[in-house]
Amino acid sequence: MSQWGVHLVVGVALLVSACGASPTAPRDGALPAPAPGIDEPLDAGHGDAGWADAGSSDAGDGGDASVPDGGEPRPVDPYADRVVRARLGDGSGFGQDRFPDVVLGPPSGGGLSSGSLDVLSLGRDGVIDLEFTDVVAVDGPGTDLLVFENPFGTFFETGVVSVSDDGVDWREFPCAASDADGGFPGCAGTRYVFANPSMGVSATDPLAAGGDGFDLAQVGLTRARFVRVRDSGANRFYAAPGGGFDLDAIAVVHGRLIDGGLP
Protein backbone atom coordinates (compact mmCIF):
# COMPACT_ATOMS: atom_id res chain seq x y z
CA MET A 1 0.00 0.00 0.00
CA SER A 2 1.15 3.55 -0.44
CA GLN A 3 3.13 4.36 2.69
CA TRP A 4 4.74 0.88 2.49
CA GLY A 5 1.73 -0.68 4.12
CA VAL A 6 0.32 2.43 5.68
CA HIS A 7 3.63 4.00 6.65
CA LEU A 8 5.83 1.14 7.69
CA VAL A 9 8.04 3.98 8.76
CA VAL A 10 5.48 4.74 11.42
CA GLY A 11 5.82 1.17 12.59
CA VAL A 12 4.08 -2.16 12.48
CA ALA A 13 2.59 -1.53 15.90
CA LEU A 14 0.55 1.34 14.53
CA LEU A 15 -0.90 -0.86 11.82
CA VAL A 16 -1.76 -3.68 14.18
CA SER A 17 -3.46 -1.37 16.64
CA ALA A 18 -5.33 0.45 13.87
CA CYS A 19 -6.48 -2.58 11.94
CA GLY A 20 -6.32 -5.67 14.08
CA ALA A 21 -6.92 -8.81 12.03
CA SER A 22 -7.38 -8.42 8.31
CA PRO A 23 -10.58 -10.10 7.10
CA THR A 24 -10.64 -10.51 3.34
CA ALA A 25 -13.20 -11.46 0.76
CA PRO A 26 -13.43 -12.70 -2.81
CA ARG A 27 -14.63 -10.48 -5.60
CA ASP A 28 -17.96 -10.69 -7.33
CA GLY A 29 -18.49 -13.71 -9.54
CA ALA A 30 -18.91 -11.44 -12.58
CA LEU A 31 -15.30 -10.35 -12.15
CA PRO A 32 -12.19 -12.55 -12.49
CA ALA A 33 -12.04 -15.57 -10.18
CA PRO A 34 -11.09 -14.87 -6.55
CA ALA A 35 -7.68 -15.82 -5.24
CA PRO A 36 -7.50 -19.17 -3.42
CA GLY A 37 -8.38 -19.05 0.25
CA ILE A 38 -10.13 -15.68 0.18
CA ASP A 39 -13.60 -16.63 1.23
CA GLU A 40 -14.75 -14.43 4.11
CA PRO A 41 -17.04 -11.44 3.45
CA LEU A 42 -16.15 -8.02 4.75
CA ASP A 43 -18.02 -7.60 8.02
CA ALA A 44 -20.05 -4.54 7.15
CA GLY A 45 -23.65 -5.71 7.20
CA HIS A 46 -25.66 -8.14 5.12
CA GLY A 47 -24.57 -8.56 1.52
CA ASP A 48 -25.89 -10.39 -1.49
CA ALA A 49 -23.94 -12.57 -3.94
CA GLY A 50 -21.00 -12.48 -1.54
CA TRP A 51 -20.65 -8.71 -1.57
CA ALA A 52 -20.67 -6.85 1.70
CA ASP A 53 -23.51 -4.36 2.19
CA ALA A 54 -22.06 -1.19 3.67
CA GLY A 55 -25.18 -0.33 5.63
CA SER A 56 -25.35 3.29 6.77
CA SER A 57 -24.05 6.24 4.81
CA ASP A 58 -23.45 9.95 5.18
CA ALA A 59 -26.30 10.78 2.82
CA GLY A 60 -29.61 9.08 2.25
CA ASP A 61 -31.13 7.69 -0.93
CA GLY A 62 -32.75 10.07 -3.35
CA GLY A 63 -32.18 13.79 -3.56
CA ASP A 64 -32.27 14.77 0.10
CA ALA A 65 -29.30 14.93 2.40
CA SER A 66 -29.45 12.27 5.08
CA VAL A 67 -30.47 12.75 8.66
CA PRO A 68 -28.07 10.83 10.92
CA ASP A 69 -29.63 9.13 13.93
CA GLY A 70 -30.50 11.86 16.41
CA GLY A 71 -28.77 14.51 14.30
CA GLU A 72 -29.41 17.29 11.83
CA PRO A 73 -29.55 16.85 8.05
CA ARG A 74 -26.11 16.84 6.48
CA PRO A 75 -25.35 19.49 3.90
CA VAL A 76 -25.24 18.57 0.24
CA ASP A 77 -21.63 17.92 -0.75
CA PRO A 78 -19.64 16.71 -3.78
CA TYR A 79 -18.30 13.54 -2.15
CA ALA A 80 -19.33 9.89 -2.31
CA ASP A 81 -22.26 9.37 0.02
CA ARG A 82 -22.80 5.63 0.22
CA VAL A 83 -20.91 2.39 -0.24
CA VAL A 84 -23.18 0.14 -2.26
CA ARG A 85 -21.02 -2.94 -1.89
CA ALA A 86 -17.42 -3.98 -1.40
CA ARG A 87 -15.26 -7.03 -1.85
CA LEU A 88 -11.79 -6.79 -0.38
CA GLY A 89 -8.94 -8.94 -1.59
CA ASP A 90 -5.88 -10.67 -0.21
CA GLY A 91 -3.77 -8.34 1.92
CA SER A 92 -6.60 -5.96 2.86
CA GLY A 93 -7.48 -4.95 6.39
CA PHE A 94 -6.41 -1.38 6.98
CA GLY A 95 -9.34 1.01 7.42
CA GLN A 96 -11.99 -1.67 7.95
CA ASP A 97 -12.51 -0.56 11.53
CA ARG A 98 -13.74 2.78 10.14
CA PHE A 99 -15.71 1.36 7.21
CA PRO A 100 -17.76 2.72 5.49
CA ASP A 101 -17.10 6.26 6.74
CA VAL A 102 -13.41 6.05 5.89
CA VAL A 103 -14.14 6.32 2.14
CA LEU A 104 -17.00 8.82 2.40
CA GLY A 105 -16.64 12.57 2.63
CA PRO A 106 -13.56 14.61 1.68
CA PRO A 107 -9.97 13.42 1.22
CA SER A 108 -7.20 14.01 3.73
CA GLY A 109 -4.27 14.63 1.42
CA GLY A 110 -0.77 15.04 2.78
CA GLY A 111 1.10 16.16 -0.32
CA LEU A 112 4.28 14.77 -1.85
CA SER A 113 5.81 12.96 1.09
CA SER A 114 3.00 12.05 3.47
CA GLY A 115 0.08 10.07 2.08
CA SER A 116 -3.19 9.98 3.99
CA LEU A 117 -3.88 7.26 6.56
CA ASP A 118 -7.62 7.95 6.26
CA VAL A 119 -7.96 5.16 3.67
CA LEU A 120 -9.39 1.72 3.01
CA SER A 121 -6.93 -0.82 1.62
CA LEU A 122 -8.68 -2.89 -1.05
CA GLY A 123 -6.17 -5.75 -1.18
CA ARG A 124 -5.24 -7.63 -4.33
CA ASP A 125 -8.04 -7.24 -6.90
CA GLY A 126 -10.35 -5.79 -4.23
CA VAL A 127 -13.26 -3.73 -5.51
CA ILE A 128 -15.70 -1.19 -4.08
CA ASP A 129 -18.81 0.50 -5.53
CA LEU A 130 -19.81 3.92 -4.24
CA GLU A 131 -22.84 6.11 -4.90
CA PHE A 132 -23.54 9.83 -4.99
CA THR A 133 -26.98 10.42 -3.51
CA ASP A 134 -27.17 14.22 -3.64
CA VAL A 135 -24.73 15.66 -6.20
CA VAL A 136 -23.97 13.41 -9.18
CA ALA A 137 -21.14 13.79 -11.70
CA VAL A 138 -22.04 15.23 -15.10
CA ASP A 139 -19.96 15.69 -18.22
CA GLY A 140 -18.38 19.11 -18.43
CA PRO A 141 -15.15 20.53 -19.82
CA GLY A 142 -12.25 18.24 -18.89
CA THR A 143 -12.16 16.42 -15.55
CA ASP A 144 -15.58 15.52 -14.13
CA LEU A 145 -14.58 13.59 -11.02
CA LEU A 146 -11.47 12.98 -8.94
CA VAL A 147 -10.38 9.76 -7.24
CA PHE A 148 -7.96 10.10 -4.34
CA GLU A 149 -5.47 7.45 -3.23
CA ASN A 150 -2.42 8.11 -1.01
CA PRO A 151 0.78 7.98 -3.11
CA PHE A 152 3.96 9.40 -1.65
CA GLY A 153 7.53 9.75 -2.80
CA THR A 154 8.10 7.22 -5.59
CA PHE A 155 5.53 4.73 -4.30
CA PHE A 156 2.31 4.38 -6.27
CA GLU A 157 -0.50 1.83 -6.29
CA THR A 158 -2.93 1.70 -9.17
CA GLY A 159 -6.65 1.18 -9.40
CA VAL A 160 -9.09 0.78 -12.29
CA VAL A 161 -12.08 3.15 -12.29
CA SER A 162 -15.52 2.48 -13.77
CA VAL A 163 -18.62 4.67 -13.75
CA SER A 164 -22.34 4.09 -14.17
CA ASP A 165 -25.52 6.15 -14.03
CA ASP A 166 -27.82 3.27 -13.14
CA GLY A 167 -25.54 0.78 -11.36
CA VAL A 168 -26.06 -1.73 -14.17
CA ASP A 169 -24.33 -0.35 -17.27
CA TRP A 170 -20.71 0.16 -16.23
CA ARG A 171 -18.09 1.95 -18.35
CA GLU A 172 -14.46 1.27 -17.48
CA PHE A 173 -11.63 3.74 -18.05
CA PRO A 174 -8.59 2.13 -19.69
CA CYS A 175 -5.78 1.71 -17.14
CA ALA A 176 -2.22 0.78 -18.15
CA ALA A 177 -1.27 -0.63 -14.74
CA SER A 178 1.95 -2.19 -16.03
CA ASP A 179 3.26 0.98 -17.69
CA ALA A 180 5.33 2.43 -14.86
CA ASP A 181 7.63 4.31 -17.25
CA GLY A 182 4.60 6.04 -18.76
CA GLY A 183 3.14 6.95 -15.37
CA PHE A 184 0.34 4.34 -15.42
CA PRO A 185 -1.88 6.28 -17.83
CA GLY A 186 -5.61 6.08 -17.16
CA CYS A 187 -5.22 4.57 -13.69
CA ALA A 188 -6.16 5.99 -10.32
CA GLY A 189 -3.46 6.25 -7.66
CA THR A 190 -0.85 7.99 -9.81
CA ARG A 191 -0.98 11.58 -8.58
CA TYR A 192 -0.19 13.03 -5.18
CA VAL A 193 -3.12 14.32 -3.13
CA PHE A 194 -3.07 17.87 -1.83
CA ALA A 195 -6.82 18.23 -1.27
CA ASN A 196 -7.63 18.57 2.40
CA PRO A 197 -10.58 20.83 3.19
CA SER A 198 -9.46 21.06 6.82
CA MET A 199 -6.34 22.81 5.50
CA GLY A 200 -8.23 24.96 3.01
CA VAL A 201 -7.32 22.97 -0.12
CA SER A 202 -10.40 22.30 -2.26
CA ALA A 203 -11.08 18.73 -3.37
CA THR A 204 -13.05 19.86 -6.43
CA ASP A 205 -10.38 21.97 -8.12
CA PRO A 206 -8.30 19.64 -10.33
CA LEU A 207 -5.47 22.17 -10.52
CA ALA A 208 -5.06 22.33 -6.74
CA ALA A 209 -6.47 19.07 -5.42
CA GLY A 210 -4.21 16.50 -6.98
CA GLY A 211 -5.71 13.05 -7.24
CA ASP A 212 -6.61 11.40 -10.52
CA GLY A 213 -9.11 13.01 -12.85
CA PHE A 214 -11.63 11.24 -15.06
CA ASP A 215 -13.69 12.67 -17.92
CA LEU A 216 -17.08 11.02 -18.46
CA ALA A 217 -16.94 11.81 -22.18
CA GLN A 218 -14.05 9.36 -22.50
CA VAL A 219 -16.41 6.46 -21.75
CA GLY A 220 -19.49 7.90 -23.43
CA LEU A 221 -21.52 8.97 -20.39
CA THR A 222 -23.13 12.31 -19.66
CA ARG A 223 -23.90 11.52 -16.02
CA ALA A 224 -22.58 9.14 -13.36
CA ARG A 225 -24.20 8.35 -10.05
CA PHE A 226 -21.98 5.35 -9.24
CA VAL A 227 -18.21 4.88 -9.21
CA ARG A 228 -16.38 1.57 -8.96
CA VAL A 229 -12.72 1.35 -7.97
CA ARG A 230 -10.85 -1.94 -8.39
CA ASP A 231 -7.32 -2.70 -7.37
CA SER A 232 -5.38 -3.32 -10.58
CA GLY A 233 -3.78 -6.54 -9.33
CA ALA A 234 -0.46 -5.23 -10.62
CA ASN A 235 0.83 -3.44 -7.54
CA ARG A 236 4.03 -4.38 -5.73
CA PHE A 237 2.74 -4.38 -2.15
CA TYR A 238 0.06 -6.84 -1.05
CA ALA A 239 1.08 -7.64 2.51
CA ALA A 240 -1.72 -7.39 5.07
CA PRO A 241 -3.19 -5.23 6.37
CA GLY A 242 -2.27 -2.49 3.92
CA GLY A 243 -2.09 -4.28 0.58
CA GLY A 244 -3.33 -2.92 -2.71
CA PHE A 245 -5.01 0.29 -3.76
CA ASP A 246 -5.85 2.57 -0.83
CA LEU A 247 -9.02 4.57 -1.37
CA ASP A 248 -9.27 7.89 0.43
CA ALA A 249 -12.20 9.65 -1.26
CA ILE A 250 -14.02 10.48 -4.49
CA ALA A 251 -15.17 14.00 -5.41
CA VAL A 252 -17.40 15.45 -8.12
CA VAL A 253 -15.88 18.31 -10.13
CA HIS A 254 -18.79 18.95 -12.51
CA GLY A 255 -22.06 18.08 -10.86
CA ARG A 256 -25.79 18.52 -10.62
CA LEU A 257 -28.27 17.69 -7.92
CA ILE A 258 -29.73 14.27 -8.44
CA ASP A 259 -32.99 15.88 -9.61
CA GLY A 260 -31.08 17.84 -12.23
CA GLY A 261 -30.85 21.17 -10.39
CA LEU A 262 -27.72 23.12 -9.59
CA PRO A 263 -26.03 22.32 -6.27
Q: Per-residue confidence of the chain (263 residues) as pLDDT tens digits? A: 444 333 333 333 333 223 333 333 333 333 333 332 223 344 333 233 344 545 444 433 333 444 444 445 557 999 999 999 999 999 999 999 999 999 999 999 988 877 789 999 999 999 999 999 999 999 999 999 999 999 988 889 999 999 999 999 999 999 999 999 999 999 999 999 999 988 899 999 999 999 999 999 999 999 999 999 999 999 998 999 999 999 999 999 999 999 888 88
Amino acid at residue number 104: L
d(CA 149, CA 109): 9
Q: Do the domain assignments include residue 20?
A: yes
Nearest CA to 229 out of 118, 149, 115 is that of 149
d(CA 50, CA 47): 6
Amino acid at residue number 117: L
Structure confidence at residue 32 (pLDDT): 32
Split into its structural domains, the chain has a count of 1
What 3-state class would DSSP assign to 263?
A: coil
Q: Do the domain assignments include residue 72?
A: no
Q: Do the domain assignments include residue 70?
A: no
For residue 213, the surrounding DSSP H or E stretch is: strand 212-214
Q: Do the domain assignments include residue 202?
A: yes
What 3-state class would DSSP assign to 68?
A: coil
For residue 246, the surrounding DSSP H or E stretch is: strand 246-247
Structure confidence at residue 72 (pLDDT): 55
Q: CB 162: neighbour CB atoms within 10 A?
A: 19
Q: Do the domain assignments include residue 216?
A: yes
Q: Do the domain assignments include residue 91?
A: yes
Structure confidence at residue 114 (pLDDT): 78
d(CA 226, CA 80): 9
d(CA 198, CA 182): 33
What 3-state class would DSSP assign to 12?
A: helix
For residue 224, the surrounding DSSP H or E stretch is: strand 223-224
Range of the domain at 44: 1-62+77-263
Residue 258, Ramachandran bin (φ over 0: left; ψ between -120 and 50: alpha; else beta): alpha
Got the DSSP string for 38-63? -----SSS--STTPBP----SS-SSS
Q: Do the domain assignments include residue 198?
A: yes
Q: Do the domain assignments include residue 68?
A: no
